[in-house]
Amino acid sequence: MKLSFRIGYHRYATDQAFAAHLAFVKANLDCIDEVALFVEFSHHGYWPLEMIRDSSTLLRQRLADYRALGIRSAGLNVLCTIGHLEESWDVLAQPPVPCMVGKDGRRSHSCLCPATTAFREYICEKYRLLATSQPDFIWVDDDFRITHHGLAGPCFCPECLKQFNQQNHRTFTRESLLAALDQEPDTAAAWQTFQRSLYTALAQDLRQAVHAVDPAIEMGLMTCIASSRNQEWFSALGAVRGRPGGGFYQDTVPLEAMQKGLATAAQLSNYPDQVRDRQYEHEDFPYQQLGKSTCMAMLEDCVSLVWGCNGIAFNSMYRQDNPRLLAGIRHNQAAWRELTRLNAGMENDGIWCNDRDVAFRLQEIGLPITFQRETAAAAVITGNPTLTRDEWRRMLSRAAFIDAPTLSGLQQLGLAELCGATVEKCWPNGTLEAFTDHPLNGPYAGWRRDVFVSFRPQFCSDAYTLKMAAGAQSLCELQNVLQQPLGSAMTACSNALGGRVVVSGYFFPHFLLYSEKRQQLLNVFDWLTQSRLPRLDLDHKIMPILRRCGSDLLLFLLNASFDASGEFEVQLRQSVTSLEQILPDGTRAALPFRQTDSGSIVHCPSLPPWQYCLLSNIPAGA
């Protein structure tokens, strides 16, 4: 596990500032494995090469000073390759190379077009100069992305249009291309391919520029969800480092720590194997010391390591040091190192969802999530995504939970007979669902859920009744608000492929926190997965992350509530011979458990608000 710190330009730019910063580093050497110096101090894309040349000389000295102090790894974070957005353009140097042009024809002041020869020559020289400072690594920041560059992204400048037209034998203007992107899927796909290729070629250039100076310099790519999907960028850059990022800048909404955890896991699942150094982005931008409580900072860091990061890149020390953060790290780092050791070789186990927000809602009611579709215990498919017929059949031959729009799509593909139902009718308002007396509803037959669909149109669309096929069973009935029956709203069936399928016509994943609905869904997913996943029946919001490798188990449980959880039990669904809680100092506390026919049941201590426990059956030192 690597603790890496991104250091702001102003901490090393003058000898006086650097001396003060270095004293802080020296006092915290036990918690600092690596430093990455920001080359620039604004998100403006263009930095004159004379400045970079001078910086390189200074950076070389600074990196050597860190190493002399005992820091094992010291390198650079190039903040600006393209430029992130419009920033400081009246103050900083005007780019002498062409800038991006937005959809509306406006030219960016700060973000550089990736397609021109002038830009390529400039950016390669910038990276070459930086490589001469003898860094152990160079991070390419997440402005290495196609979209989200302020007023532009992707670029619609004349050069980009010319290259796209040449490659595709077209004659688009900006206006005609924009119209075609809306109306012609083939053109939209070709435009995406063109954009991706531009960045692939750019990544190759950057790698060559750096490795021509020193092939031992490690390259790293910082990603967002979209850019993490372009595996060829990692290859072209020769990246052995990746940093999944995005969000949780302050803890105003604590659950965003868990949402960022899911975004991190999604990005990790896209990283190619060559990316062996996976540093979580601990993001405190714009560096407000009171923006995040230490408790939440420690939670988000632990979550990222459970999901499979093996390092943390702290973006917390831009203009000032952060002693409070370092104290938190010192208190927790032994557990983090033990966690990372245990986690090597483990995979997520849980439910796969095609929609990350749905995944988050299911994690909120206590279901573990995975981003590995092929090994998932069940798939949750909503919104009728485009999949091949073979992919659909494979999912329906195992365990699937689908919503009504998805069922409609499957009907058109002729696959409805595998789902046990067809969509009967759409009901846009005035509906609720009532539980039937099906055994999966436990003691809650007759219980009703009304999410008041008209109140939050962003979370609620229509409700649907389902027509059941022979052999299917009904778990819910759709009723109108007069409590008159309209038809089935939730069905379960076993199909001819041996799969189990549940269809929900009144899904509304943002409103699953009713105790009875949660219990029903836990029962439903137990049935779908044939009781493969751990089960926690406590009527409290505890969010799990499950890692497994054979019978080795790592289970993270967060009390995502401002109330203490009280003591609770977890059915592990596997037999263990010991189960221990890993404490912050890395030591263990044995937890009592008992054996049953369906595996071991462990007794957990009460979790205070927003605290977590980390359980494993792997012996210490094993």
Please report, as ranges, the residues that interact with Zn ion according to CB under 5 A. 113, 115, 155, 157, 160
**CB of 163 or CB of 408, closer to Zn ion:** 163
- CA torsion through residues 125, 129, 135, 140, sign: negative
Shortest spacing between CB 93 and Zn ion, in angstroms? 20
Q: Is the peptide bond before 608 cis (omega within 30 degrees of 0)?
A: no
DSSP character string of 571-603: E-SS--S--EEEPTTS-EEE--EEEETTEEEEE
Q: Looking at this protein, which amino acid is placed at residue 245? A: G
**CB of 113 or CB of 486, closer to Zn ion:** 113
**CB of 113 or CB of 410, closer to Zn ion:** 113
**CB of 160 or CB of 342, closer to Zn ion:** 160
**CB of 39 or CB of 155, closer to Zn ion:** 155
Shortest spacing between CB 159 and Zn ion, in angstroms? 5
**CB of 10 or CB of 170, closer to Zn ion:** 170
Ordered alpha helix ranges (H), 216-312: 225-228, 231-237, 256-270, 294-307
Alpha carbons 449 and 475: distance in angstroms, whole number: 13
Residues with Cβ within 8 Å of residue 265, at least 6 apart in sequence: 307, 308, 348, 369, 371
**CB of 115 or CB of 262, closer to Zn ion:** 115
Alpha carbons 513 and 557: distance in angstroms, whole number: 17
Shortest spacing between CB 42 and Zn ion, in angstroms? 22
Across 495-610, where does the E strand assignment appear? 500-504, 542-549, 552-559, 568-571, 580-582, 588-590, 593-596, 599-604
DSSP character string of 388-400: -HHHHHHHHTSEE
Shortest spacing between CB 178 and Zn ion, in angstroms? 14
Shortest spacing between CB 84 and Zn ion, in angstroms? 16
Shortest spacing between CB 114 and Zn ion, in angstroms? 7
Site of tokens 């037959």: 445
Asked if 526 and 599 count as a contact pair (C-beta separation under 8 A), the reply is: no
Cα-based torsion angle of the residue sequence 484, 451, 368, 563 in order, rounded to the nearest 10 degrees? -120
**CB of 110 or CB of 523, closer to Zn ion:** 110
Shortest spacing between CB 111 and Zn ion, in angstroms? 10
**CB of 160 or CB of 326, closer to Zn ion:** 160
Shortest spacing between CB 116 and Zn ion, in angstroms? 7
Shortest spacing between CB 154 and Zn ion, in angstroms? 8
**CB of 113 or CB of 335, closer to Zn ion:** 113
| φ/ψ bin of 445: left (φ > 0), alpha (ψ from -120 to 50), beta (otherwise) | beta
Give the 3-state DSSP-derived string for 162-190, with helices as H, strands as E and coil as C: HHHHHHHCCCCCHHHHHHHHHHCHHHHHH
Q: How many Cα atoms sit within 13 Å of 538 on the Cβ side?
A: 28
184: which 2 tokens? 């012609």
**CB of 115 or CB of 615, closer to Zn ion:** 115
Give the CA angle between residues 525, 531, 534 to the nearest 5°: 90
State the burial class of residue 550 (Cβ atoms within 10 Å of its Cβ: 0-12, 13-18, 19+). exposed
Shortest spacing between CB 152 and Zn ion, in angstroms? 8
Alpha carbons 50 and 478: distance in angstroms, whole number: 70
Shortest spacing between CB 620 and Zn ion, in angstroms? 56
